[in-house]
Chain A
Amino acid sequence: GQQVMQIPQYQHVQEGEDFTTYCNSSTTLSNIQWYKQRPGGHPVFLIQLVKSGEVKKQKRLTFQFGEAKKNSSLHITATQTTDVGTYFCAGPGDNNDMRFGAGTRLTVKP
């Protein structure tokens, strides 16, 4: 069945360093969504990408959707302690189910 893989599983950075998490799907996606889960919290929607090759920015966050619509990335420039959390990518399956990646847990050292 469809799989969504995400790497790395963990990333520890010094405040001010950049961070990137990568997401790969075994099948083409109609769209990809990114979520952030703060420690002890619930996932919160960040953004959705729909078009092949799409790039969207939210302040220090840059999201990309691959040309083949099978991969995506989230890049954070100059991390801050407020960026701490787990970042998930997710995409719809063929049967209206939702597939989430395993997540990348980001910790930031002040």
Chain B
Amino acid sequence: EAQVTQNPRYLITVTGKKLTVTCSQNMNHEYMSWYRQDPGLGLRQIYYSMNVEVTDKGDVPEGYKVSRKEKRNFPLILESPSPNQTSLYFCASSSRGGYYEQFFGPGTRLTVL
């Protein structure tokens, strides 16, 4: 089954404790991205990747890191999480960026205390 998976689905952590949210897709998509969703603000792109070893900043990259060492995986790293990073995070992939439909993962709800 074609899908995007994310782990963990829920995470409660404390300020400053490094964490990684994993994302994997099995559709051989070139384009992957991370979004955060906050009430009233919709989906805001954090980082995106056009292909392996190519990553670019989206709208709200501050406080986040990503890497794309393999085509299927695109982890999101929060080196020192802060409470304002409490949000719902979605990973998405598409065959070629904004010219094709985005497939979203199930989401990760992160709470930073």
Contacts and interface: CB of A to CB of B under 8 A. Distances in A.
Given A90-B102, A92-B97, A93-B98, A43 B45 contact: no
A9 B60 CA distance: 21
Interface residues of B, number: 27
B33 A88 contact: no
B102 to A, nearest CB: 6
B90 A48 contact: no
Contact of B48 (A48, A91, A98, A103): A98
A6 B28 CA distance: 32
B35 interface: yes
B104 interface: yes
Interface of B: 31, 33, 35, 40-45, 48, 50, 56, 58-59, 90, 92, 97-107
8 residue pairs, one from A and one from B, having the closest CB atoms? A92-B98, A102-B42, A45-B101, A100-B43, A42-B104, A96-B97, A103-B42, A100-B42
